[in-house]
Amino acid sequence: MIPEDSRFEADPEEIVAETPGLPDGWEVGTPDPSDRFDVARLTQLLRAHERHGRGWAGAGVDDVLVEVSEHGMRMRQNVVVRDEAGEIRAWASAHDRAAGRMLFVHIVEHGLPDRVADACSDVLFEWGRGQAKVLGAARGLPTQQIDTGAFAEDERQHRWLAAAGFERVRTWWQMSRPVEPSEADLVPSPDRWERKGVVFRRVRRADGGMPDENDLRELHEVLEGAFVDHFNHFEETFEEFLHRLREDPGHRWDHWWLAELVEDEGRTPVGCLVGAVSESSGGPDGSYVDYLGVLEAARGRGVAKGLLRTIIADAARRGRDRVGLEVDADSSTGADGLYTSMGWKTKYVTESWHLDVPVD
């Protein structure tokens, strides 16, 4: 069931009317999130995609449910290609990420004959372009961007993306840093500490245990201000921001921090860090930096470094063994230098590929 406020087309046949390249008996449809076999199959496809692209798999059932569950369908839509026996062989997901930006997941089973794999890929791209037009029209836009990713070593994916008209626009370093137990004392307390006129603290909790809405709004405003000039930034409403972050399987409210500049007239939010849990099935969990933002007027005051030291200390106190993050390899901000100086190293590399779709 698609929520009424979804901007996507629910019926794939309205977008992909014909599938001339698929074998006889193969069909295009939607996955059933209540069917454990469908969810297990999508998880298998996603993990195989990761193993092929970077050498190991990290995704699990929760990552699939973010894309296909009824809750996730408010901002997403999915399509699958099934063989004559009903088994899913290819899967795509479209995410209404922000006005003008549609994220697109494109996964085709490895091991299929090239002709069949190419046909599946063509169906997924046709569906993605169709959903981009539907989404762009619903938002009243002349052009809708499709933003998809690929592992740097995945040549098959690169070939398909280039043939479909996508352009490789950015490279991202996926970095990780080990955490030692002794780093629990890296800051006086991850709950709150102060250095050179800057207070670093967790987002406050209101009555009932939920986070303070004023803190969340200030954090969102800091991020929007910090990233306004960054690559491919699209403004996201406060409600869209919270809905998306809460969908993350690793989401935890006590992994969000604000940095405030203390002045005579009070405190001004100038930086923030949104963290999450990186769960591990075979060892200690890790922490992950989803967002780190510092307003331009406060840069050079050690705000970013203070926030990073805070999440490292927090991870150590929780018994975590690592902190991960993503950095724009082409950014001129010098963020990669800060991360490298603090012990982060690149674990693997991903790419962004874009296609601008005119909206009829």
Half-sphere exposure of 142 (CA within 13 A, CB side): 0
Largest CA distance in the chain: 74
Identify the CATH assignment for 180-320 out of 3.40.630.30, 3.40.50.720, 3.50.90.10, 3.40.640.10: 3.40.630.30
Chain centroid, CA 359 distance in Å: 25
Angle at 219 between CA 204 and CA 201, to 5 degrees: 40
Q: Which residues contact 161 (CB under 8 A, 6 or more apart)?
A: 148, 150, 168, 353
Domain boundaries, the chain: 12-174, 180-320
**Locate tokens 């982060």: which residue?**
344
- Distance CA(188)–CA(137), nearest Å, equals 52
Collapse the DSSP code of 289 into the 3-class scheme (helix H, G, I; strand E, B; otherwise coil) and give the result.
Answer: strand
Instruction: List the helix and strand counts (H, then E) for the chain.
Output: 8, 13
Q: Which residues contact 207 (CB under 8 A, 6 or more apart)?
A: none
Give the pLDDT confidence score for residue 4 in this predicted structure: 57
Per residue in 145-176, pLDDT (tens digit) is 999 999 999 999 999 999 999 999 999 999 99
Instruction: Kindly give, in sequence order, each residue whose CB lies less than 8 Å from that of residue 29, ignoring residues fewer than 6 positions away.
Output: 12, 79, 80, 82
The per-residue pLDDT for 2 is: 46
pLDDT in tens, the chain (360 residues): 444 578 999 999 999 988 889 999 999 999 999 999 999 999 999 999 999 999 999 999 999 999 998 876 779 999 999 999 999 999 999 999 988 999 999 999 999 999 999 999 999 999 999 999 999 999 999 999 999 999 999 999 999 999 999 999 999 999 999 999 999 999 999 999 999 999 999 999 988 788 999 999 999 999 999 988 778 788 889 998 998 999 899 999 999 999 999 987 789 999 999 999 998 877 789 999 999 999 988 888 899 999 999 999 999 999 999 999 999 998 777 788 999 999 999 999 999 999 999 998
DSSP 55: S
Buried b (16+ CB within 10 A) or exposed e, 64-78: bbbbbbeebbbbbbb
Q: Are strands 167-178 and 322-328 parallel, antiparallel or unpaired?
A: antiparallel
Q: Is 233 exposed, middle or buried (0-12, 13-18, 19+ CB in 10 A)?
A: middle
Give me the count of residues in the chain. 360
Cα(148)–Cα(355) distance, integer angstroms: 9
Tokens of 151: 């592992």
- Please indicate, yes or no, whether the overall pTM of this predicted structure exceeds 0.75: yes
CA distance 170 to 149: 10
Phi-psi region of 166 (alpha: psi -120 to 50; beta: other; left: phi over 0): beta
**CA end-to-end span of the chain, whole Å?**
27
Q: Closest by alpha carbon to 1, among 72, 88, 95?
A: 72
Asked if the domains 12-174 and 180-320 are classified in one and the same CATH topology, the answer is yes
Residue for token digits 């992950």? Answer: 288
At the top level of CATH, the class of 12-174 is alpha beta
Phi then psi for residue 5, to 5 deg, are -90, 5
Determine the 3-state secondary structure of 225 from DSSP. helix
Task: Find how far residue 208's CA is from the centre of its chain.
Answer: 29
Report whether 138 contacts 7 (CB < 8 A): yes
The single-letter DSSP state of residue 62 is H
Asked whether the beta carbons of 63 and 82 are under 8 A apart, the reply is no
